[in-house]
Structure 1
């Protein structure tokens, strides 16, 4: 794979940082776009974003990379010396490849010293905001910007449907950003269409690639963690289980990434954010493919059950359909009971239920064996893949 020098192209009210690359004797283009007002912060002098974004594709195909553009020396060193080996352990289908760069840049990029985080409206991202805006935080580490990316969370493989969902979801969270008087930067991309890979396995690389385009803006960036430090694991296909390693290896001389919130469980973070009134109106955790909370997918039910156990669910009537939740609650608790020894989130919720002496219906206990068998079959199928 050959990656060429990035260039900046204006398209209507947005500006793209794009780079051509060659693979399988074909030339393609990878791009990231931001609002025109942020053009001055795009890093076109280095190919950092494109190295990170295209790394999983090259490793999957066993293609060595030659960068015909400068790249940050620290990033080159950490990827080639540490990160690739770790990725091969986590995802055995990837191949160790050779990476050569035309020029290594050891000097930091001059930045505006901004501090950013991705904001989706979920528990993890709201917790990051609460900690870095409304709790004790050194001035240099306080948030100044939010970002919102279209790199796979709205659809693994991109396309128009994912793009439409990206636009719908940002409209839901924009009012919160306006209330806080903090800019939210839309970063669109065709990375999903280029990679055509599983998002859960590659989300850290995808989102970091998007942020690295803005190295002239950001000095620090908080990547909201979905896992605790104690759950660190490398032999897993869930990228969030080893973010602590990945984010360190993807930092540059200019931009430091932090795994935010990893010292707390999801249950603890949920408890913390209930103290933050805007979450009562803007919490959006849905993984069901809709823009607003569907109130019946795994993430919606997990959040609502946690909130009910903590006695806070009624505060969230503006964002959840409690009627749907009550219809699904018995079955979901049965799923939690069935998976309590296999899933960290299920174990957290179960322990919280015991702590609060939360009543569990006989129907949930009766359904538990069914879900145990169902989950066991699902795991066997996944192992077969």
Structure 2
């Protein structure tokens, strides 16, 4: 996997960083305030390690580029972790010149989009954080108008804490999906790559899991610190608190609670229908907070109809159940609904494992019968029966030299052209 054409362009109110990785362009756009070193390809190695391990390709940097010796020394440990989580990933070599990056003294930062994890970390470290980074092209691509609304609502809380909000625009979501990698697999690398490109001295990454439920995840207490370089320290933070405890902390700040945004449908509101809104409603109900507004009122009947999709979500619902049982105001309806959700997920998981063990041919047939788009962005950090099929499809697409069309709806607040080129 060749990394080359690392470029830096300046515009009236922004700068654009781009590079070619295995024929795909990866780009980032952010304010001109920060200096950048286009010789330091450490962030690009962070971005490309998991895709390269998936394809089993060594990473090779063009001669003018270098990477951090500290990061290089940790790449073996990172690969050991990813390969132990999912054997679909393979050990690779990184051929690069080593050189210590120059510290740019850009301050301390965390990522913040108004969600539970980010809001909690922002409040926990508000005395030491200089910047809160908000990204378009990370979870999903927002158009110009939606992106401006998102910035405005999050800037309100940041300013109240004396923290500067930094908007960043990128095509990283597109880049990740081009390799058939699930977002949950690579999202930590997205954040850390951005933090290193901007050059923060310290970067806080908000934990989504707790010490009691440490599972393979794209941002993890084992892996995040290993991405540290001589100039940017990575700190994984917030594992001491589950979702209920985080919302209790957030509720102490009126602006933070009113700003809380968990919905993937609309940055101006919480829809009250999606799974993330449902999970937030559960945590709020356990905490006894009943003045939080959703677009549509949520009931226990709706909660009972949602699904748990993976073991990470299972750990969240199990912590909800434990907290609900221990709550002073015993909520029998909620406890019953949570028990049923957990039982249904465990029953489905048992059935899937049984089918895979005794009827693998049927599983392969069922997967191949699905539409192509349903099978592409599928590979995660834990093994699935479909991994080898998805990987085969990704390799075939790259071997054929198929062109990947980048989405055109990545909104911008800057005056420069929207193209990364």
Superposition TM-score, scaled by structure 2 size = 0.74
Distance 1:195 1:342 in 2: 22
In the other structure, the counterpart of 1:114 is 107
In structure 2, do the counterparts of structure 1 residues 166 and 85 end up closer, same or farther at CA, with 3 Å as the change threshold? farther
Which of 184, 190, 193 is the matching residue for 1:200?
A: 184
In structure 2, do the counterparts of structure 1 residues 12 and 29 end up closer, same or farther at CA, with 3 Å as the change threshold? farther
In the other structure, the counterpart of 2:218 is 239
In the other structure, the counterpart of 1:209 is 193
> Could you say what secondary structure the match of 1:348 adopts?
helix
Shift of 1:128: 0.9
In structure 2, do the counterparts of structure 1 residues 305 and 342 end up closer, same or farther at CA, with 3 Å as the change threshold? closer
The one of the two structures with greater contact order (alpha-carbon pairs below 8 A, sep at least 6) is: 2
> Could you say what secondary structure the match of 2:165 adopts?
strand
CA contact (8 A) 1:151 1:192 kept: yes
The count of residues paired between Structure 1 and Structure 2 equals 350
Distance 1:352 1:378 in 2: 24
Distance 1:334 1:270 in 2: 23
Distance 1:219 1:279 in 2: 26
> Could you say what secondary structure the match of 1:152 adopts?
coil
Distance 1:209 1:345 in 2: 27
Question: Structure 2: 5+ residue runs without aligned partners?
Answer: 353-362, 364-377, 379-383, 387-421
Q: Does 2:6 match 1:6?
A: yes
Shift of 1:344: 1.6
Per mean C-alpha deviation after superposition, the further-off stretch among 245-254 and 293-302 is 293-302
| CA deviation profile, 1:216-259 (whole Å, cap 9, x unmatched) | xx1111100001123223xx4x324xx11111110111111111
In the other structure, the counterpart of 1:137 is none
Distance 1:174 1:99 in 2: 39
CA contact (8 A) 2:46 2:192 kept: yes
In structure 2, do the counterparts of structure 1 residues 201 and 163 end up closer, same or farther at CA, with 3 Å as the change threshold? farther
| CA deviation profile, 1:306-338 (whole Å, cap 9, x unmatched) | 212222221x23xx23x5213xx234157699x
Per mean C-alpha deviation after superposition, the further-off stretch among 368-377 and 169-178 is 368-377
Shift of 1:377: 3.1
In the other structure, the counterpart of 1:77 is 73
Which of 120, 128, 139 is the matching residue for 2:121?
A: 128
In the other structure, the counterpart of 1:17 is 17
Distance 1:247 1:336 in 2: 29
> Could you say what secondary structure the match of 1:229 adopts?
coil
In structure 2, do the counterparts of structure 1 residues 312 and 273 end up closer, same or farther at CA, with 3 Å as the change threshold? same
Shift of 1:114: 0.5
Shift of 1:360: 2.4
In the other structure, the counterpart of 1:94 is 89
